[in-house]
Structure 1
Amino acid sequence: MTKVEDAKTNWTICGECQGRGKKSRRLTNKMRLRYQAALDQFEKTKEGTMPVRPRGRLYSCLNCRGSGLLRSVDRPIADKENYPHIAIVGGGVGGVALAVACLHRGIPFTLYEYDSHFYARSQGYGLTLQQASKAIEGFGVCSLKEGVISTRHIVHTTEGKVIGEWGLRKWTQSGIKTAPKRSNVHIARQSLRLALLEQLGGHDAVQWGHQFVDFKESEDEGIVLSFKVGGEMKSAKADLLVGADGIRSSVRRILIGEDITPLRYLGCIVILGICPLCTLEDLNSSLLDSATVFQTANGNERIYMMPYTSDSVMWQLSFPMPEQEAKALSARGTQALKEEACRRTQWHDPIPQVIAATPEAKISGYPVYDREILESELLKKSGQVTLIGDAAHPMSPFKGQGANQALLDALALARGILKGCQSSPWRKIGVRESVLTEFESEMLERSAIKVKDSADAAQFLHSKIVLHEGDQPRGRCLKGECPTDEIEFR
């Protein structure tokens, strides 16, 4: 796919790979014969387990260059006869991404959001796209004009001593031939959200001001959703409900209950800030070159600073604190959060200067939570309802995986609906059997390790482990690994 900035381009799925971006090679004669021999032996003896038919190796579709999409003259028309109507609750990154993926496949949907408009809440923190930096093309977003690519990551002690460095610049300088070619893209959450909204045709594609209240399943009417809109109750119908409404998901609460998988406090608080570089004109630091990510730690406090835009940086200060104290500090507001951040980070340049220059309006703070990994059994009885993103698998911000996993969830679900509803009588057997069971199994398996690693990071990034000297991410230091085939800038 040619990388051009064209938000008005129409897309449709690639016919050769059916929008999956990958194709399967045919099995070799040797593989087929081996499988048939094993199957014949099993049927003859009835011993052991039945052999599983092997699958051909997947490779990127050349027709769409792995995106699953092709340019189209016309905008796809929703196929209401052959696909279920999807009600998406939550207009964040995951919910909008799912709507975009459905649009490209002609899957009918309605996207509901609690906020009254796009700018109703401050959602200014930055995201690091890792696996999803390639998957973003699967949403028809060819380039992120607001995205910034980092090429260096440095770890310091509070005195400024470098105890770890990695990234494309170091690998290039070192002449390492096996260095990975992938790179991380840093982007403001709202910029990514807006790029996805543009695929839908703009803000009018969202049903703003819809506070989700409840849902009921009916054999005759599918799912009936209840919303509070402008102080009045309104209802809507759908064939499938997807909760994309975040860590405190109302859909999840009604579906599973809060007591079964309650919020789990991870023992620390995060303070975030966004600082314009223009306020630091008298400060000359190579760490503020808009292509460097760095972190500084002392075994208790830890700050992580990354490019936010080409002319600003975002910092994330975190440290252990009892839950009630963390809640109280967060509730005291931006001035108290900034004072606390300044008090704790009288470290090497440019950290004190950046925090001091950060406007209070650009500062926020909150205790860090996740939930226990969701068991698929809890969803199997949920009928035509499922969850994606933080509603399904919330995690700490310390591995930078929340948005990445939400994007992957959205693309996987849309692809699953296309495939599952084409190959089965979904109206008769239900969307769960046709799509959801397989989707949820893959989603939960993929995200489980991210949830665990993110929870572990909340502990070791605020311990002496983070001060281990080595040119690798701190989590790899913990595991005694130093891979060159994966970039992990946390």
Structure 2
Amino acid sequence: MSSPHILIVGAGVGGLALGQNLKKNGISFTLFERDASPSVRAQGYRVRVAGGGAEGLRECLDDEMFNLFENTCAESKPLTDGGRFSAMNADSMESLFPNEFPGLPKGPGGPGQGPPEMVKMSSQKVFNKPYNVDRTMLRNVLLLGQENHVKFAKSFTYYETTSTGVTAFFRDGTSERGTLLVGADGTFSPVRKQLLPNVRYVDTLSRVIYGKMPLTEELIARFQPKALKWMTVIQDQSLTLFMEPVRFPKDASVVTNGRVPRIDDYAYWVLGGNAETFGLSDAEFHNLSGKDAADLTLKLTSHWDPSFKAIFELQNAAQSAPLRLITAKPERPEWTPSANVVLMSDAIHAMMPTGGSGANTALADASLLGRIIAEKGVSEDSIFCRPDVGICLASDKWQCRRRKEVVGFQGFRRYEGGDYLS
């Protein structure tokens, strides 16, 4: 049997982790990313890697790479150091997690991390230590050593399969042939739309604007000091601000010998509410520029305590962006089985961003799929799955193995309302 060549569409956290896993196992692959560069748009900021995500990442990386990952993480503190405030009173601090939230069992990363039986996603030992990670930093680290495998500005359009492989076609008129096509291309995955055209995600009708800003002396002087200790939630009747200082104990540029740029300490924030609160149509909200998003946060929080408004008044508009919260429902799809096309991470099981569940599941996907390819190769025996097996997340055996883990995890986190998206 000839050695497989894997085509990965999407250079997000999941796709890059899979690339590292394949590289570690000596398997040929090419990774295609539609963005022109890793830094062309906002990538989100802090994410907590824990449980099955940390375990999966450890399996994907060799010892040297995992050491680099650990040395580029931000500092972590107990969640009990955080606080909850009323938006109108900066002196109203309460404990952030006095008890478990109703319906949110504690995981290794705290409430919102998923039910304990769903955190472990392979046969390896579960990591009990959560890692506080900057998403841009993580992508930069995961790119190391596989730069020659990644092609940017490659926008996938469609694929064609044969009995021996698959060909991916791109908007620039080029095509690439391989043994297996992996759709790691996010919530609005073009690969999924061709493979599973009837699968629709759900708009939860929740909206957020997120951003970051340096931990400057002015912010530290103006913002409520207790709220800058660690994770903080600030609430009024219709809005919730989640914010967290992100501090790096080590300089990434030094740790990586200049291969990854330094990121200065910053405050990460997310302002969330329902669509009605933001007062914009879907199109208007989606098309908000950074400046427009920043202006909207100032308008929505104009009645807040001055100490809390400082984070919006001092924000860098270029780092602010809107996000519509979308999730998948664990429903059984209809599809034509294929041994040459699979889906992973948000391309097939988009999750709410609470607790970092999407990133952690993507890393677990990357470890399991990479392991199956390394151990069993690409064939009908290792990849193919009949649709009557159950709720498979794509047409492949590896994701049937993931069925009880991910669909159960997703069922726990599923949103029971909202509108289907086409």
Normalised-by-shorter TM-score class: 0.7 to 0.9
CA RMSD of aligned residues (A): 3.0
Task: Please state how far the C-alpha of 1:281 moved relative to its aligned partner.
Answer: 4.1
What is the one-letter code of the residue matched to 2:76?
I
Secondary structure of the residue aligned to 2:281 is helix
Task: Please state how far the C-alpha of 1:93 moved relative to its aligned partner.
Answer: 0.8
Residue 120 (str. 1) matches residue 40 (str. 2): yes
2-side partners of 1:455 and 1:295: how far apart? 23
Task: Please state how far the C-alpha of 1:157 moved relative to its aligned partner.
Answer: 3.0
Return closer, same or farther for 1:374/1:144 CA change in 2, 3 Å cut-off: farther
Secondary structure of the residue aligned to 1:149 is coil
Secondary structure of the residue aligned to 1:137 is helix
Task: Please state how far the C-alpha of 1:378 moved relative to its aligned partner.
Answer: 4.0
8 A contact 1:398–1:454 mirrored in 2? no
Return closer, same or farther for 1:428/1:94 CA change in 2, 3 Å cut-off: closer
Cα distance per residue 1:277-321 (max 9 Å; x no partner): 1141423613223xx111122352111112334421110011011
Task: Please state how far the C-alpha of 1:123 moved relative to its aligned partner.
Answer: 1.7
Match of 2:84 in 1: 155
What is the one-letter code of the residue matched to 2:232?
F
Task: Please state how far the C-alpha of 1:130 moved relative to its aligned partner.
Answer: 2.3
What is the one-letter code of the residue matched to 1:154?
G
What is the one-letter code of the residue matched to 1:240?
L
2-side partners of 1:262 and 1:321: how far apart? 20
Task: Please state how far the C-alpha of 1:414 moved relative to its aligned partner.
Answer: 0.6
Q: Return the match for 1:268 from 202, 206, 209.
A: 206
Residue 356 (str. 1) matches residue 313 (str. 2): yes
Task: Please state how far the C-alpha of 1:209 moved relative to its aligned partner.
Answer: 1.7
Cα distance per residue 1:382-434 (max 9 Å; x no partner): 3321101100101122332111110110001011222333xxxx557574269
1-side partners of 2:40 and 2:109: how far apart? 43
2-side partners of 1:148 and 1:349: how far apart? 28
Residue 217 (str. 1) matches residue 161 (str. 2): yes
Match of 1:404 in 2: 360
Residue 303 (str. 1) matches residue 241 (str. 2): yes
2-side partners of 1:407 and 1:457: how far apart? 26
8 A contact 1:261–1:372 mirrored in 2? no
Residue 445 (str. 1) matches residue 404 (str. 2): yes
What is the one-letter code of the residue matched to 1:227?
F
2-side partners of 1:272 and 1:397: how far apart? 12
1-side partners of 2:380 and 2:275: how far apart? 53
8 A contact 1:224–1:238 mirrored in 2? yes
Q: Return the match for 2:384 from 432, 447, 453.
A: 432
Q: Return the match for 1:321 from 275, 279, 283.
A: 275
Secondary structure of the residue aligned to 1:254 is helix
Describe how 1:127-146 pairs up with structure 2 within 5 A. Answer: 127-131=47-51, 132-138=53-59, 139-140=61-62, 141-142=66-67, 143-146=70-73
**Mean Cα deviation higher: 360-369 or 339-348:** 339-348
Task: Please state how far the C-alpha of 1:342 moved relative to its aligned partner.
Answer: 2.2
What is the one-letter code of the residue matched to 1:147?
A
8 A contact 1:368–1:396 mirrored in 2? yes
1-side partners of 2:416 and 2:385: how far apart? 36
1-side partners of 2:331 and 2:144: how far apart? 32
What is the one-letter code of the residue matched to 1:432?
F
Describe how 1:81-120 pairs up with structure 2 within 5 A. Answer: 83-120=3-40
Return closer, same or farther for 1:153/1:378 CA change in 2, 3 Å cut-off: farther
8 A contact 1:268–1:368 mirrored in 2? yes
Structure of greater relative contact order (alpha carbons < 8 Å, 6+ residues apart): 2
8 A contact 1:330–1:337 mirrored in 2? no
Return closer, same or farther for 1:192/1:275 CA change in 2, 3 Å cut-off: same
8 A contact 2:165–2:178 mirrored in 1? yes
Identity %: 22
8 A contact 1:271–1:317 mirrored in 2? yes
Secondary structure of the residue aligned to 2:199 is coil
Secondary structure of the residue aligned to 2:171 is strand
Match of 1:240 in 2: 180
Task: Please state how far the C-alpha of 1:452 moved relative to its aligned partner.
Answer: 4.0
What is the one-letter code of the residue matched to 2:268?
M
Runs of 4+ aligned structure 1 residues displaced above 6 Å come to: 178-181
Match of 1:369 in 2: 326
What is the one-letter code of the residue matched to 1:264?
V
2-side partners of 1:455 and 1:144: how far apart? 34
Task: Please state how far the C-alpha of 1:128 moved relative to its aligned partner.
Answer: 1.8
Q: TM-score, normalised by structure 1?
A: 0.65
What is the one-letter code of the residue matched to 2:192?
R
8 A contact 1:150–1:184 mirrored in 2? no
1-side partners of 2:237 and 2:32: how far apart? 43
What is the one-letter code of the residue matched to 1:145?
T
Secondary structure of the residue aligned to 1:440 is helix
Name which one, 1 or 2, has greater alpha-carbon Rg. 1
Return closer, same or farther for 1:155/1:183 CA change in 2, 3 Å cut-off: farther
Task: Please state how far the C-alpha of 1:82 moved relative to its aligned partner.
Answer: 5.6
Cα distance per residue 1:72-92 (max 9 Å; x no partner): xxxxxxxxx564221111111
**What residue ranges of structure 1 are gaps of 5+ in the alignment?**
1-80, 168-177, 460-490
Match of 2:131 in 1: 185
2-side partners of 1:411 and 1:447: how far apart? 14
Cα distance per residue 1:130-179 (max 9 Å; x no partner): 22234432223221414231323323333343343349xxxxxxxxxx99
Return closer, same or farther for 1:282/1:156 CA change in 2, 3 Å cut-off: closer
Cα distance per residue 1:461-484 (max 9 Å; x no partner): xxxxxxxxxxxxxxxxxxxxxxxx
8 A contact 1:88–1:110 mirrored in 2? yes
Task: Please state how far the C-alpha of 1:105 moved relative to its aligned partner.
Answer: 1.2
Match of 2:262 in 1: none
Cα distance per residue 1:89-120 (max 9 Å; x no partner): 11111111101011111222111111222222
Cα distance per residue 1:45-65 (max 9 Å; x no partner): xxxxxxxxxxxxxxxxxxxxx
1-side partners of 2:381 and 2:371: how far apart? 19
